[in-house]
Structure formats: C-alpha cells, structure tokens
Amino acid sequence: MNETTQQAIVQTLREKILSGELEPGQRLVEAQAAQWLGVSRTPLRYALSVLSSEGLLERSGARGYVVRRFSVRDVLDAIDVRGALEGLAARCVAERRVDTELARSLEECLRAGDAIFSAGRLRDSDEARYAAMNGRFHQLIVDAAQNTAASAALRLNDKIPFVSPSTVVFDETARERQFVMLMYAHRQHHAIVGALLNGEGARVEALMKEHTNISKESLNLSSSRLHLIAGAA
C-alpha cells in the first residue's frame, strides 16, 4: 500500500466526518470500517491514527474510535489560536520586509476579492471564489514567515471545523448579511497588506488577530455543519 493510497483513505474519512455522513458519537470499529470502505486494515489503521491525532476521532477500546463532537468553546479557542499564530507570522513578515513576489501575490488576492464584491451582491460560486482567495491570502503570509513551528501548529489547528481560512460555509437564507460580512473582511485584507508593505509589525499583528473575529461571527450564519458542534443548533 503506497503513501498516496493511504492519504486518499485519510481524506475520504475526513470528508465523511466533516460532511456529517459519519456522525459525532458514531463508533468506528477497525474491521467493520475496512469492510465498509473496501480497504485493508493496515492503511485504515494508519488513517484512523492520523484523524485521531488531528482531533477528529477519539480512541474507544482497543481497536475502535469515536467521531468527536466539538464544543463551541473548542471552535472559538481554535480561532483565537489561529489569530495569534497568524499575527506572529504577519509580524515576522513585516519586520523582515515584503519582497516583490509576495507583494505581487497579495495584490492579486486583493484584486480577486475586489472583483467579487464589485457586483454589490453575492453571485453563484462567489462563496467558493472568496474561500479560495482567502485561503491563499492567509497561506501566503504564513509561508513568507518561514516559521516551521507556527506552520505545523496552524495545519493541525485548521482541522477543527470552521477554523481554516479557506472554509466559508453560510446559510443560503443569510446571503445579504454574508455579503456585508465578507466585504468587511476583505477591507481588512487591504489594511493588512498596507501594514505589511509599510513594515508595521505591531499593527499588522493586531490586525490579523482582529481579522479572525469574522470567523466567530460566521458561526451565527452557518447551518450545514453545525452537527459537528455541541450546543450550537
């Protein structure tokens, strides 16, 4: 069994958990799950171990796991952690100075976001376009910081639902509020880039921490994945 196949099993199980196909509290027994997925037990054992390390599963007995349910506190704490780590990364980048390539890439993200909001409303596929742009914007800053420890911590932290900057999932009935919220978040992107280009380390760190509050507010508009969060119905 090669590494690519192992990672494919990990991704399949991860998606089934985040989509709700595997419900919080549901028990996964190694032998039964292997039969259900049509894979051998060795790569499945690896996949279950990976998802346990990410916090999506919890051990239950010698050969079993239980799908974890996150509390509201878990999600809010993880968002705060992301803000602190991304703030640290942004400060490092600002103090080191932004190179030409990074500046160009960040400006491309800003233009992509501006294009989304130019219509004055969210059109079909705009949420996906914004999520992709937002994920790239944040990743550019984290990568530029060249802080291996912070990058590793963020990758683990982003496995918690609603925390990753590339996750934007709102209720279709709240599209007007979503537009206003995302447009405000994108104005923050402009301010963050300005502070980075000006070498304002302390300011950009504060802006990045403040920026994550949008993720907290979005929990009030999201419905499709609230099954993962206890007490948030």
**DSSP letters of 40-91?**
-HHHHHHHHHHHHHHTSEEE-SSSEEEE--EEHHHHHHHHHHHHHHHHHHHH
Which residue, 11, 54, 47, is CA-closest to 28? 47
pLDDT tens across 72-110, in order?
A: 788 889 999 999 999 999 999 999 999 999 999 999 999
Domain segments of the chain as ranges: 3-68, 72-230
Class (C level, CATH) for 3-68: mainly alpha
We find that the CATH architecture of domain 72-230 is Up-down Bundle (1.20)
pLDDT for 58 beyond 80? yes
pLDDT for 226 beyond 80? no
Average pLDDT taken over every residue of the chain? 86
pLDDT for 224 beyond 80? no
pLDDT for res 233: 44
pLDDT tens across 115-160, in order?
A: 999 988 888 778 778 888 999 999 999 999 999 999 999 998 987 8
